[in-house]
Chain A
């Protein structure tokens, strides 16, 4: 497998942020392309239900 890390070093950084929104805000302030995901725990954090959903999808 090629080391994609060295490929990353040649690319423009584009970020997807999950969780603490201030990290995304900091990216935006610096003009870094970023998307913040409005993440919520699958099935409200109920692991069994989340696993069931995972199997279905």
Chain B
């Protein structure tokens, strides 16, 4: 039976409520649950879910807090309400022991020298735009994590920011490291002389983390949001940030990371980098390497290659292209032979299941020539759009951070459970030979993202074995030893579950390529 409770005039942030929803769903006797504010989105989620579709929730307004659940009996409903109460009380107790001002003015009274705002309030309805505007007026740099900020709002904020000499990192910007402080989703990277400007979240994390593992370090990492280098925005913030790194004495080498920009914007950026005179590595994933070369800049063939070249340049060494493995060719061949020996003849396909969008994009661009077609929710070729995101087809790559998967759910780097469930599902598919996964650690990410994943890998491999076959899991961990979760510890957890753990996403993709070629 479907039960609902509505509380008018209460407000809680969406991520907290999604986490509470997930906690409620785990209660025995609960088929479905939704805890949220009566926003358009939540009402739609309620309406479209045949196991909920509560008429009470349908009548709510954005001012109403609601709990709705499909439960076996009244007792379970009581347990649901008690669980929600318990979780909300944790929040209230925290609020009572800490003072949280209700406005920017209030915050500035407590901390008058505030210089960065991290904004993750809803973009829809102009909320994030309004908060960002208020911060810029106070001379505060903005990191805008929110999505659903319109192009017009983005352009307006960035134009205003540049006028005031300020940064607007975002919208939909997940990663920045300013003065060695990781903001939102970022890793603990050692201080150094490499400055980065990036229009990509996990791409930034991958490059900066590999820089750290190679013994290099970063001066500043500035995110711009993925749309900055597109035609509509014209690279306003990318160029502003690049100018700042060119003028920054602590930055000796610059790395630029993005998907290929709008060509005229790309030319402007490359020209500016050339005139800046600092050694610059350009990683426009899947772009033409001749473009940066023609400006005397250093193109990179992968995120890992960008990190390696930047570290070489920062030590005054000649940058060399790296497109191989840390292991020897013989070791890799033996690894592939060993991994594939127990596969059944039906197992031909790859399933790439990513929490990081740029890492997913990198894998598809690398593997497409081998796979010919990769079905995806973010396909490289229009015809390869997956009809149903929940059902893989032949070679499939999924970005679990894309909108289709995050409606009403936190980002998979915060809540990796959906991806873990999919690992288990793919392991049960008799056509799947290899599952390729990332595991992103660092601040902002789940406190132990490897735990759920390792559990799914182990169960998946056990299931395959019980059916007389094996399934290969190739993983890479994006992060550093300094991260709260720890790079080595995370790798060990995945290895212990039976995954082959490669040093980087690029090397993981190369190994998968060899496996696909072997089983084809």
Minimum C-beta distance from A18 to chain B (A): 5
Q: Judge whether A3 and B111 touch: CB under 8 Å.
A: no
Residues of B within 8 A of A26 (CB): 182, 443-444
Known: A16-B107, A37-B103. A9 touches B140 (CB 8 A): no
CA distance A39 to B14 in the complex (A): 12
Minimum C-beta distance from A48 to chain B (A): 11
Q: How large is the interface on B (under 10, 10 to 19, 20 to 34, 35 or more residues)?
A: 35 or more
Residues of B within 8 A of A34 (CB): 111
Minimum C-beta distance from A14 to chain B (A): 5
Which single member of A3, A5, A8, A18 contacts B120 (CB below 8 Å)? A18
What 1/0 flags go to A19-57 for Cβ under 8 Å of B?
111111011011011111111111011110000000000
Q: Judge whether A37 and B100 touch: CB under 8 Å.
A: yes
CA distance A46 to B125 in the complex (A): 9
Which single member of A5, A6, A14, A37 contacts B113 (CB below 8 Å)? A14
Minimum C-beta distance from A24 to chain B (A): 8
Known: A15-B116, A46-B62. A37 touches B15 (CB 8 A): no
Minimum C-beta distance from B66 to chain A (A): 14
Q: Judge whether A18 and B118 touch: CB under 8 Å.
A: yes
B164, B165, B182, B240 interface centre (most CB from chain A within 10 Å): B165
Closest to B105 in A: A37
Known: A3-B165, A21-B16, A41-B125. A9 touches B118 (CB 8 A): no
Q: How large is the interface on A (under 10, 10 to 19, 20 to 34, 35 or more residues)?
A: 35 or more
Known: A20-B145, A37-B106, A47-B126. A5 touches B118 (CB 8 A): no
**B391 touches A (CB below 8 Å):** no
Q: Judge whether A5 and B165 touch: CB under 8 Å.
A: yes
Q: Judge whether B166 and A23 touch: CB under 8 Å.
A: no
Residues of B within 8 A of A44 (CB): 9, 11, 61-63
Q: Judge whether A33 and B111 touch: CB under 8 Å.
A: yes
Q: Judge whether A9 and B179 touch: CB under 8 Å.
A: yes
Which single member of B9, B62, B101, B127 contacts A38 (CB below 8 Å)? B101
Chain B: residues with CB nearer than 8 A to chain A? 9, 11, 13, 15-16, 39, 61-63, 95, 98, 100-104, 106-108, 110-111, 113-122, 125-127, 130-131, 135, 139-141, 145-146, 163-167, 178-179, 181-184, 219-220, 240-241, 243-244, 247-248, 250, 414, 443-444, 484
Enumerate 20 A-B pairs (CB-CB under 8 Å) in ascending A order. A3-B243, A4-B139, A5-B166, A5-B244, A13-B179, A15-B181, A16-B111, A17-B120, A19-B13, A21-B16, A22-B444, A23-B145, A34-B111, A35-B110, A37-B100, A37-B104, A40-B102, A41-B62, A44-B11, A45-B127
